[in-house]
Amino acid sequence: MKTKRHGAVLGLIAAGALLLTACGSDNNAPSAGSTSAAGDSSVPVECGGKSKLSAEGSSAQQNAIATFIQAYQAKCPGSDLAYNASGSGAGVKQFNAGQVDFGGSDSPLSESKGEVAAAAERCKGNPAWNLPLVFGPVALGYKLEGVNDLVLNGEVTAKIFNGGIKKWNDPAIAALNSGASLPDKDIKVVYRSDESGTTDNFQKYLTAASKGAWTQGDGKQFKGGVGEAKEKSAGVAQAAGSVDGAITYVELSFAQDNKLSLAKIDNGSGPVELTNETVGKAIDGATIKGTGNDLVLDLNSIYGSTTAGAYPLLLATYEIVCSKGYDADTAKAVKAFLTVAATTGQDGLADAGYAPLPKAFQDKLLTAVKAIA
């Protein structure tokens, strides 16, 4: 999403309000007229407390976190954050083990896996909150010589990633790409080896959109059973970009950095290119299903959407924090960092490949941050 280099692909700084305004809920949903919160310096930040915070997790948000750190250091001189982009699974584990001050994950804590209970124990008997701070679409990035315009749908994508379709000139792919010259070449799937919220979201999309072709289920571990495994978002994008015939699922900025072509998705209403308008239209139906200040988004409704012109493969990245249970110095610093991230830290997000928060969503997030104790 490097918008200066890829303005034709995603002008998200202009569309941030539209895109994330749609990330509303049935409860106090941001209105269609919400404006971007980028650069809002009017929100007070109480600097101080722990001088160097630690966090770990999602590699999908690492460039956003780097932007937030710069803004934090500028706003609170002498303060810093060390972020280890080890993947969502590791981030949740390290947070729950009390090894880092907050975790980063591309999916919220799972109750069925015991993550919610473990987080409450880590937070001294208090619930952890999932705070969505970073948003962006996931690209189906591929490298295929001579093919720069490719259409896929949920069913065909599922069969590619579970081994049901093995050749680029398979009749099912050809049917979606009338007139295209598709080579008789093996499809080389590249997937995340580490536990990843990107993988979880991708597999949830396949479950919803594949008309039964994906039976492997979801989760942070890839379950397709085919392909080459690589660590982190940068790893899969680099691997796919180095081999003709490769395809992977990865955040847009990583796909662009490695010069991958981007497949259009046909959700049943025609091919949809990944653009600011199509991302905004897809996320329009997202609601917040969490209660109170636990801002868990419900994205399931859009994965299987057949709305014309909607790009349905999206990702929200959460910061996982204790609602209570920090020592005073840590609580103060965590609140300061997240406040900066949600306000002046938004300035550089478009250049880093993400969407700035709109004002109404920022207000909801800041309410939660202020309540951390």
Q: Which residues are annotated as a binding site?
A: 58-60, 88, 106, 196-198
| 325-330 contact pairs (CB < 8 A, 24+) | 325/122, 325/123, 325/124, 325/125, 325/126, 326/101, 326/123, 326/372, 326/373, 328/49, 329/48, 329/49, 329/50, 330/49, 330/50, 330/53, 330/101
Question: Coil, strand, or helix at residue 322?
Answer: strand
Tell me the C-alpha to C-alpha distance, in Å, between residue 182 and each of 159, 170, 258, 266, 372: 17, 9, 22, 18, 54
Assign 91 to helix, strand or coil.
Answer: helix
Known binding positions for phosphate: 58-60, 88, 106, 196-198
* Segment holding 136, helix H or strand E: strand 128-143
Minimal CA–CA distance to 357: which of 373, 370, 371, 339? Answer: 339
Place of tokens 């590619």: 160
